[in-house]
Chains A and B, each alone.
Chain A
Amino acid sequence: MTEHIADKATAKISMNDVHKSFGPKVVLDGLNLDVGRGESVVVIGGSGTGKSVMLKCVLGLLHPDGGSIKVDGEEVVGMGGKDRDRVLDKFGMLFQSAALFDSLKVWENVAFGLIQGRGMSRDDAKGVALTKMAQVGLGEEVGELGPAELSGGMQKRVGLARAIATEPEIIFFDEPTTGLDPIMGDVINDLIVDCVKELGATTLSITHDLASARKIADRIAMIYKGQIIWAGPTDQIDQSGNAHVDQFIHGRAEGPIQMEVLRP
Chain B
Amino acid sequence: MVAVGTNFLAAIGRIFLSFTAATGRLSIFTATALSHCVTPPIYPRLLMRQMMSIGYYSLPVVGMTAVFTGMVLALQIYSGSSRFNAEGAVATIVVIGITRELGPVLTGLMVAGRVGAAMAAEIGTMRVTEQIDALTTLSTNPFKYLVVPRLIAGALMLPLLVLVADIIGVMGGYLVGTEKLGFNSASYIDNTFEFLEQIDVISGLVKASAFGFIVSLMGCYHGYHSRGGAQGVGAATTNAVVSASILILAANYIITELFFDI
Contacts and interface: CB of A to CB of B under 8 A. Distances in A.
Given A97-B129, A99-B129, A59 B136 contact: yes
Contacts, number: 52
B138 interface: yes
B184 interface: no
B interface SS class: helix
**Most central of A60, A113, A116, A117 by chain B CB within 10 Å:** A116
B133 interface: yes
A95 B133 CA distance: 9
Contact of A92 (B133, B137, B140): B137
Contact of B131 (A61, A93, A99): A99
Contacts of B137: 59, 88, 91-93, 172
Interface string B106-131: 00000000000000001001100111
Contacts of B125: 102
Interface residues of B, number: 14
B138 A96 contact: no
Contacts of A93: 134, 137
Interface in B128-183: 129-131, 133-134, 136-140, 145
A64 to B, nearest CB: 16
Contact-size category for A: 20 to 34
Contact of A56 (B122, B131, B133): B133
B138 A116 contact: yes
Nearest to B140: A116
Nearest to A159: B134
B138 A112 contact: yes
A173 to B, nearest CB: 12
A118 B140 CA distance: 10
A194 interface: no
Contacts of A112: 138, 140
Contacts of B130: 95-97, 99
A69 to B, nearest CB: 15
Nearest to A60: B136
**Most central of A95, A100, A118 by chain B CB within 10 Å:** A95
B60 to A, nearest CB: 23
B153 to A, nearest CB: 15
B133 A88 contact: no
Interface of B: 122, 125-126, 129-131, 133-134, 136-140, 145
20 contacts: A56-B133, A59-B133, A59-B136, A60-B136, A61-B133, A61-B136, A85-B139, A88-B136, A93-B134, A95-B130, A95-B134, A97-B129, A99-B133, A101-B131, A102-B131, A112-B138, A113-B138, A113-B139, A117-B138, A118-B139
